[in-house]
Amino acid sequence: MAKKDLNEDVLSGASISEEGKGKAEKKAKKAPGKKNKKGISKKAAKTIKSVVACVLVVALLVAYVATGTVRKGFIHSTLGLTTGITAVTVTDKDGNKTNVPVSVFNYYFAMLYNNMKSTQSQYEQYGLDLASMNLDVDFEKSLSSQTTTNDNDETVTWLEYLYEETLETIKDTYMYYNEAVKANGGEEPAITEEQQAELDDTISQYKESANGYGFTVSGYFVQVFGKGVTEKVFRQEAVRSYIAQNYKEQLSTETTETEHTAEELEAYKSEHTADLESVCIRIFEAASEDEAKEFYASLNSDGSNFTELCVNYASTDFDKEYYAADGASTKLYATRANLQNGGYAIATSSTDEESGESTSEGLDWLFSTDRANGDSYQYSTSVVYVIAPVDVYDVETVNVRHILISPITDSEDTTSATDASAEQWATALETAQSLLDEFNAGEGTEDDFSILAAENSTDTGSSTNGGLYEDVYPGQMVDTFNTWCFEDGRKTGDTSIVQSQYGYHVMYYVGQTGTLAWEKTAGDALASAASTSAVDALSESYTVAFNWFGKFYIEKDTDIDH
C-alpha cells in the first residue's frame, strides 16, 4: 500500500464527540494572559499549536495509535546517519553534555508535528476559526514557505517554529531525566508497572497496525515518526519521558507537602485578598438575555421563588428536574475564579487594549463591599440573589464520602448522564435509595459506607478509596454536592442523596478537617509558586543547541510527496 494511502486510511478512523468539541472550544476560547493580534493569548496559542511539556509526550503515544495521525513524506534515506550523528546537545549547569542523535530529534519532532496536525484536524471538524488560534498552517504546502509568530512575537516559518518547540521538548525531557538519574545514584530509575504496561500495550497496538500494512514494527515507526525512529528508539524515549514525568511530579509533591507558617499564610492573605474572597449566592443562567430579564422581574424580593423560576426557565427536561432542588442553583462561598470557570455571563471580563487590564462589570458588582443579604442583579443571561456578601470566610475544608450511581443508558449515541431518559434516571435513583437503605439498616459506620462505595460507585476517581474525598474546599465539587457539604449544621455521619449532571450521589459526611479553606488556597498557591520557581531555576541551568552538522540530517518539510 502506498504511503499516501496509509496516511488517508488511518486518518479516516478518527471520531469527534460533542463532549470533545465542548472541551476543545473551551480550551480555545479560554485565554488568560496578554492577547495577540489574532485575539487569543500567547499562552493559549502555544498550547494549541504544540505540546512541549515532557509529561505530555508519553500521554500522546496511545493517542497516535487511536487517531492514526501519521506523516507521509521524509527526506533522508540513510538510516545509519540518523542514529550516529548528533542533532542537538543538552548541557547542564556543570557542563555535562548529552548528545541527542538525529533519530531521537526526529522522534520528538514527529510527536509535536503529529499533535499539531491532529489538533488542527479536530478544530476544523468543530468549525472553529484556525486563523484566530494561530493554527492556520497548510500541511499540503512546505512548512518553510509559511510563517507564524513564536513566543517572542517574532515572525518565523512554521518549520523554524517546530524546531524551536522540539528543542524545548528535548531540553525539558532530558533535564528531568538527567536529574532523576543523578538523584538515583547515577542509575536509571525504574518506571512504574502501570507505565510499563501502557508502553507494552502501545507497542502491541503499533505491531498490529504494522502487520496490517505489511511492515515490521520498526519499519512502521519509521513511516510514522521519521528515519531512525525504530522500536528501540521509541521504547528508549518513552521510558525516558516516563522517568522525566515521574521526577517532575516528585519535585512538585515535595513543594506541595511543604508546611507553611501562619505568618506566611497571613502575608499571602494580605497580598491576595481578592483571590480569597467569596460570596454565597443563588444563581441561574438563562438561555437568553430576554429570559433573564423576565426571570429577574418575577423574582420575589426575599428570593423565595428562586427555585420555582429556575424550573420554569430551565431549557431541558433534565434541567427542570435538576433545578427542583435548591442546591442546584446555590453556590456557597464562591470565589471569582469559581464563577469564571463556571462560564457564567456575570463573570465575563473585558480587556483594555491600551493598559491590558482585565475588568468584569458583573463581578465588580457582586464582590463590592456595598452588597448586602437580599441584593439581586441581572447581568446579561445571569440572574443572582445574594445570600451572604463578600468576605474571606473562615469555613473549613471537609472530608466526605459518596457513592455515585450514574443512569445506565442503552444507546451508543448517549454520551452523558444528562442524555438519559426519565426511566433510566428513575432506575438510578432506586439503586441509590436501596444502597442508602442498606447502609442505614446496618451499623451505619464509615467503614460500612466505604465498602458499599468500593463495590457500587461509578466514580472511578474515588471508588477505589471507598468514595473518599479529602480536604474538599468550596467550589471544588459540582454545585449540589458542594452545597450539601457546606450547609450550616452539617455533622459527622449525616447522609443524603443529591443529584448532579453525573447521576445520584449517596452522601456520607465525614467531618471538617480543621484547615480553613482560604488557608488551603493560600498554601496551594505558595506551593505552586515555589514549584514554579524551582522549575525555572532548573530550566535556566540547562541549555540546548543544534549541532551544526547534524542539523543537515534532521526532518525538514514533511507531508510533502517528494
d(CA 24, CA 12): 20
Residues with Cβ within 8 Å of 534's Cβ and at least 6 positions away in sequence, in order, are 251, 255
Question: 171-200 burial string, b = 16+ CB within 10 Å, else e?
Answer: bbbbbbbbbbbeeeeeeebebeeebeebbe
Residues with Cβ within 8 Å of 89's Cβ and at least 6 positions away in sequence, in order, are 97, 98, 99, 100, 544, 545, 547
How would you write the pLDDT of the chain (562 residues) with one tens digit per residue? 333 333 333 223 322 222 333 333 433 433 323 333 333 344 444 433 433 333 333 334 433 443 444 444 333 344 455 667 999 999 999 999 999 999 999 999 988 888 888 888 888 887 888 887 878 899 888 899 999 988 888 999 999 999 999 999 999 999 999 999 999 999 999 999 999 999 999 889 888 888 888 888 888 888 778 778 888 999 999 999 999 999 999 988 887 778 899 999 999 999 999 999 999 999 999 999 999 999 999 999 999 999 999 999 999 999 999 999 999 999 999 999 999 999 999 999 988 777 778 889 999 999 999 999 999 999 999 999 999 999 999 999 999 999 999 998 765 555 578 888 899 999 999 999 999 999 999 999 999 999 999 999 999 889 899 999 999 999 999 999 999 999 999 999 999 999 999 999 999 999 999 999 999 999 999 998 888 888 899 999 999 999 988 888 887 765 433 3
**The residue count for the chain:** 562
d(CA 171, CA 108): 11
Side chain identity, residue 366: L
Give strand ranges (E) for 434-517: 468-472, 495-500, 503-516
Residues with Cβ within 8 Å of 61's Cβ and at least 6 positions away in sequence, in order, are 198, 199, 202, 238
Residues with Cβ within 8 Å of 282's Cβ and at least 6 positions away in sequence, in order, are 303, 306, 326, 329, 330, 331, 384, 385, 387
Residues with Cβ within 8 Å of 41's Cβ and at least 6 positions away in sequence, in order, are 31, 32, 33, 34, 35
Side-chain half-sphere of 161: how many Cα atoms within 13 Å? 27
pLDDT, residue 214, reads 84
Residues with Cβ within 8 Å of 57's Cβ and at least 6 positions away in sequence, in order, are 51, 108, 111, 169, 173, 237, 241
Cα 463 vs. chain centroid, distance in angstroms? Answer: 21
Side chain identity, residue 26: K
d(CA 63, CA 115): 9
Q: How is residue 439 written as a grid cell?
A: 447502609
DSSP state of 357: -
Return the ∠ at Cα 332 (arms to 473 and 324), rounded to 5°. 120
pLDDT, residue 77, reads 41
